[in-house]
Structure 1
Amino acid sequence: MELKGLEIKPLDWNGAVPYSLLLEADPSREKVDSNLQKGDCYVAVIEERTVGVAVLVPINENETELVNLAVSEEFRGKGIAKKLIFFCLDVCKNKQIAEVFVGTGNSSLSQLGLYQKCGFRMDHILKDYFIEHYQDEIVENGIQCRDMIVLKQSIKMPVPTAFRRWEQV
């Protein structure tokens, strides 16, 4: 489905920060603010309205984490989250980041499916992460959110020209 006028771009820091969306992805204002300070925020915009958000936070020079991915409720199911994910993966590829991680709760069933559809593979589990790091209990899909499922995608870098001898005739 093509969304008319959808644009994904870096957040304009002179405008309003889309906290309502960011806090949907992570209910901790402290963690959201920390991610915004350390990372790069990208927004999906339709007709000057922010309908989606994603933040990339560097882990080190070769690894980045995708955090705070959220789409406005009325725009869910239209492919915006996928477009944000692929946009972020392109940003990482252009920065020559080798691996991108994303973490989500054990109770976040649709998010787990989305990340896998976008090429992420399960990497490890941080047991009791949401119990230890969040004051309030989180429940999704009737399941208590306890563990963080960490998924990873390795970015395939283009082969340097010097190694493309097989392409020469």
Structure 2
Amino acid sequence: MSSEPGVTIQTFTNLDTEHMRLLFEADPSEGMINDVFIHSCAYEIRAGQALAGVMLLIRADADALEIANISVDRAYRRQGFGSRLIDRAKMETVRLGLSRLEVGTGSTSFGALCFYQTCGFRMDRIERDYFVNRYAHPIVENGITLRDMVRLSWHL
């Protein structure tokens, strides 16, 4: 739960159309979203009854948790909802006794790259042609065809 009145963070187990709408903003593949969801711990953040954002966490390896998908509704962006979800992911990393939290984003996702670094993540590596090899159709973002994934991590 969040300490702010009317704002709650909780897990959810049923992926409905409202969750999918937000998850599609971060990943255009329904199949990939469903595959990740099956293996994830899913969180939602609500402002009152309204769904403000979602996050899917998966176990990356023996030492790390990964934010596999995170999205905040446009109406709630730049109000701290994404940061609250990141804080929850960090708390889960600590609770599980893991040493790091990872996230990957597109090399053309300039806003996301800035956001993650503001939240304390550092760049680790680039996975070349990640999106080209996994998606049937090109993804264009900020006028650039997305090819590479930037991997970032937060360490205890």
Normalising by structure 2, report the TM-score.
Answer: 0.92
- Aligned equivalent of 1:16: 16
Could you say what secondary structure the match of 2:153 adopts? strand
Structure-1 separation of matches of 2:117 and 2:135: 25
**Paired letter, 2:33:** V
Q: Does 1:114 align with 2:109?
A: no
What's the % identity of the aligned pairs? 33
**Aligned CA distance change for structure 1 residues 14 and 138 (closer, same or farther; 3 Å):** closer
Look up the SS of the partner of 1:97 in the other structure: coil
Describe the shift of the 1:15–1:69 C-alpha distance in structure 2 as closer, same or farther (beyond 3 A): closer
Q: Distance in 2 between matches of 1:95 and 1:138?
A: 35
Please give the residue correspondences for 1:94-109 in structure 2 after superposition, counting only pairs within 5 Å: 94-109=95-110
* Structure 1 stretches of at least 4 aligned residues deviating more than 3 Å after TM superposition: 14-17
**SS in structure 2 of the partner of residue 92 of structure 1:** helix
Q: Aligned partners of 1:3 and 1:22: how far apart in 2?
A: 24
CA distance in 2: counterparts of 1:85 and 1:14, whole angstroms: 21
Q: Give 1:134's aligned residue.
A: 135
**How much has 1:89 moved relative to structure 2?**
0.7
Structure 2 regions of 5+ residues with no counterpart? none
Secondary structure of 2:133's partner? helix
Which deviations, in whole Å up to 9, do the C-alpha atoms of 1:73-109 show, x marking residues without a partner?
Answer: 1111111111111111111111111111100001100
- 1:40 matches 2:41: yes
Any unmatched runs of 5+ in structure 1? 156-169
Q: Which amino acid aligns with 1:46?
A: A
Q: Which AA in structure 1 matches 2:71? A: A
Residue 150 of structure 1: aligned partner: 151
**2:132, 2:22 → 1: CA distance?**
22
- Number of residue-to-residue matches in the alignment: 153
SS of aligned partner of 2:55: strand
The 5 Å alignment of 1:28-67 reads 28-67=29-68
Q: Which protein is bigger by CA-based radius of gyration?
A: 1
Does 2:98 align with 1:93? Answer: no
Equivalent residues of 2:89, 2:101 under 8 A apart: no
> Matched residues in 2 for 1:28 and 1:8: separation?
25
Choose 16-25 or 118-127, whichever is displaced more: 16-25
**Equivalent residue letter for 1:87:** R
* Deviations, residues 123-149 of structure 1 (Å, cap 9, x unaligned): 000011111111111111122211000
Residues 1:113 and 1:15: Cα distance change in structure 2 (over 3 Å): closer
